[in-house]
A = this chain, B = another copy of it.
Amino acid sequence: LQKLGKADETKDAAFEEWVTNFHKQLAEGTKLQRDLRAYLAAVKAMHESSKRLQECLVDMYEMEWYGKDEVNSIAEDTDLLWTDFHQKLVDHALISMDTYLGQFPDIKARIAKRDRKLVDYDSARHHYASLQKGKKKDDVKVAKPVSLLEKAAPGWAQGILSAHHVAQTNLSRSQAEEELGRAQKVFDEINEDLQEELPSLWNSRVGFYVNTFQSVAGLEEKFHREMGKLSLNLNDVLDKLEEQKAGKVSQKT
């Protein structure tokens, strides 16, 4: 089998590299999915705790303090911004992540099937090859002195025995050849598909990583921009509150 499979083994080394890439790609994708989910959970947790912190301000903020309404609406807008950020991360990054990773199980199953079909193909080829070797031996025998059985049989029977043997061997050989052809066809079909799909899947990773991280970066950029504005607004309101209180204190004294 080792010698017979020489050409295929060379072919397999290239294929094995694609399989190695496939597993690397699957591992990277799975890790990315896990880390993205953890990031989303952290976004949710930070949303909750930032909301509670702002509720402290809203609750302490007294009716007659400057900007009571602004403080309320800044807190509401901050809450909305966090909700929107989290939801868009789910929609744009996590869901496309799931679609991307959804391709892998089917291909993984077909890689395993290809391995099994390669074993079938190799065994069919081995069988056929051993019969071919037998035929060569028979051809040699025909030229050689007759066997003990042939020697023991009467002269008229010797040709019949030999012809029967040759006919049987020819039948097995053609069956094995047919079997080999079928096994090769099944293997070639799945092999050709994977030879096309694995490189294409592998190349798709770049676009996928770009899309995922651009989604995240884009949503973060928008989130940070809007959030920064709200922080500035809150700062302004609190400046005015301080002025209001300073005014009151100087009126009192």
Give bound CA distance, A242 to B65, whole Å.
53
Q: Which of B45, B46, B213 contacts A238 (CB 8 A)?
A: B213
Identify which of residues 184-227 in chain A touch chain B, using a CB-to-CB cut-off of 8 Å.
Answer: 203, 205-207, 209-210, 213-214, 216-218, 220-221, 223-225, 227
Among the stretches A49-57, A132-140, A169-177, the one at the interface with B is: A49-57
Please state the number of chain copies in the assembly: 2
Give bound CA distance, A39 to B55, whole Å.
12
Known: A46-B43, A56-B32. A228 touches B218 (CB 8 A): no
Q: Provide the residues of chain B in CB contact with A48, threshold 8 Å.
A: 42
Give bound CA distance, A245 to B245, whole Å.
60
Q: Provide the residues of chain B in CB contact with A28, threshold 8 Å.
A: 56, 59-60
Identify which of residues 28-76 in chain A touch chain B, using a CB-to-CB cut-off of 8 Å.
Answer: 28, 31-32, 35-36, 38-39, 41-43, 45-46, 48-50, 52-53, 55-57, 59-60, 65
A238 touches B217 (CB 8 A): yes
**Is A232 interfacial (CB 8 A cutoff)?**
yes
Residue of A36, A207, A209, A224 with most chain B CB atoms under a 10 A cut-off: A224
B231 touches A220 (CB 8 A): yes
**Is A235 interfacial (CB 8 A cutoff)?**
yes
Give the bracket for the number of chain A residues in contact with chain B.
35 or more
Q: Provide the residues of chain B in CB contact with A50, threshold 8 Å.
A: 39, 42
A31 touches B56 (CB 8 A): yes
A36 touches B59 (CB 8 A): no
**Is A241 interfacial (CB 8 A cutoff)?**
yes
Q: What's the minimum C-beta distance from A170 to chain B, rounded to whole angstroms?
A: 49
The 6 A-B pairs at the shortest CB distance, nearest first, are namely A224-B228, A221-B231, A224-B224, A42-B49, A42-B46, A217-B231
Which residue numbers of A lie inside 8 Å of B, CB to CB? 28, 31-32, 35-36, 38-39, 41-43, 45-46, 48-50, 52-53, 55-57, 59-60, 65, 203, 205-207, 209-210, 213-214, 216-218, 220-221, 223-225, 227-228, 231-232, 234-235, 238-239, 241-242, 245, 249
